Amino acid sequence: MPEQPHEPGGAIAGTGMGGPMDLGASEAATLEEGAGGPTGAGPADKPRSLWSDAWRDLRRNPVFLLSALVIVFLVFVSLWPSAIASGSPLACDLAKSQDGPGPGAPFGYDGQGCNVYTRTVYGARTSVTVGVCATLGVALLGSVLGGLAGYYGGWWDALLSRATDIFFAIPVVLGGLVLLSVVTSNTVWPVIGFMVLLGWPQISRIARGSVITARQHDYVQAARALGASDSRILLRHIAPNAVAPVIVVATIALGTYISLEATLSYLGVGLRPPSVSWGIDISAASPYVRNAPHALLWPSGALAVTVLAFIMLGDAVRDALDPRLR
């Protein structure tokens, strides 16, 4: 029987090693790259974490984008107010008292002849400083105390629970009137310290509940069985999985602290003249609301927009970090 013809490579056509099954280096490399595609085990199939899913949702949320833009602008104004406002906020001219908008003063003048635009711009520094510092202090103190109480329990948990009940019973505004009225320092630090003193119980209860939930998970029990120390379990296993509710509550509370500072300054126990604050300007403009409404409108509007921006940011972060809402 005649032999079948051979290809130049020496293999039988269609069935030999030199046929379609004999792949070159370029084809083999192509198949190897394809193994990591949508059907392989490449980086595209790597499971996403809670934080990556939350960031992806936040980037698509118009509420988050709008509030973030407003907050970025406020931070820029707080750091460099002279970039958009010339002159000093303390420079006043009684000859221009209650004058309307004019050249160099688009918001007009208040009862003391001060430039409302300049004072509104410089007032953002006080509000943002108080809000950020108070939130950081409250979140740090409340998270530590609440986390330890939730992890260890026992008498420490009972003591913290009774202490938070006592602090919750103190009216915030009334407490500020009593405590800050005896303070002589005209800086933001007494106000920040007062907010931290009365604000940590809320964060501590949130942190306590999150830690109690997280410590019951299997990975915590496994770490404890392997001999991990309490500090390692708290910092490496529990804290990353219990911090999300604290971040949400703290972000929303930041706007509340800004509003509280303006309220205390309006009542005369927060910041006092010659400090620049939206609460001080609102208090000074209240008697002239009929003759010079612009002096009250602009600082009040700036305060409302700032508080609303932080509340919207907190709501967006809450929606992104809570899997049940998704």
Burial of 249: CB neighbours in 10 Å, binned 0-12, 13-18, 19+: buried
DSSP state of 115: B
Class of CATH domain 51-325: mainly alpha
- In this predicted structure, what is the pLDDT of residue 48? 67
- The first and second tokens of residue 205, run together, are 């209860």
Residue 127 near residue 261 (C-beta atoms within 8 A): yes
> Which segments of the chain have a pLDDT < 50?
1-44
- In this predicted structure, what is the pLDDT of residue 324? 60
Closest by CA to 129, choosing from 59, 201, 187, is 187
In the numeric block, the tokens 């930041």 are attached to: 254
Tell me the per-residue pLDDT of 196-208, one tens digit each, with 9 for 90 and over.
999 999 999 999 9
Angle, to 10 degrees, between the axis of helix 294-321 and the axis of helix 50-59? 140
Which residues are paired to 92 by β-bridges? 114
Entry pTM: 0.79
In the numeric block, the tokens 């010079």 are attached to: 292
- In this predicted structure, what is the pLDDT of residue 153? 84
User: Would you kindly state where each structural domain of the chain is located, as residue ranges?
Assistant: 51-325
Q: CA 133, CA 278: separation in Å to the nearest integer?
A: 17
Residue 138 near residue 250 (C-beta atoms within 8 A): yes
Q: CA 292, CA 197: separation in Å to the nearest integer?
A: 38
Q: Is the dihedral of CA 30, 32, 34, 36 positive or negative?
A: negative
Residue 7 near residue 19 (C-beta atoms within 8 A): yes
- Residue 35 phi/psi, 5° resolution? -65, -20
Which amino acid appears at position 250 of this protein? A
- In this predicted structure, what is the pLDDT of residue 326? 53
Closest by CA to 143, choosing from 50, 214, 95, is 214
- In this predicted structure, what is the pLDDT of residue 8? 43
- In this predicted structure, what is the pLDDT of residue 223? 83
- In this predicted structure, what is the pLDDT of residue 226? 85
- In this predicted structure, what is the pLDDT of residue 67? 94
Give the Cβ contact number of residue 229 at 10 Å: 11
Burial of 18: CB neighbours in 10 Å, binned 0-12, 13-18, 19+: middle
- In this predicted structure, what is the pLDDT of residue 11? 41
- In this predicted structure, what is the pLDDT of residue 323? 59
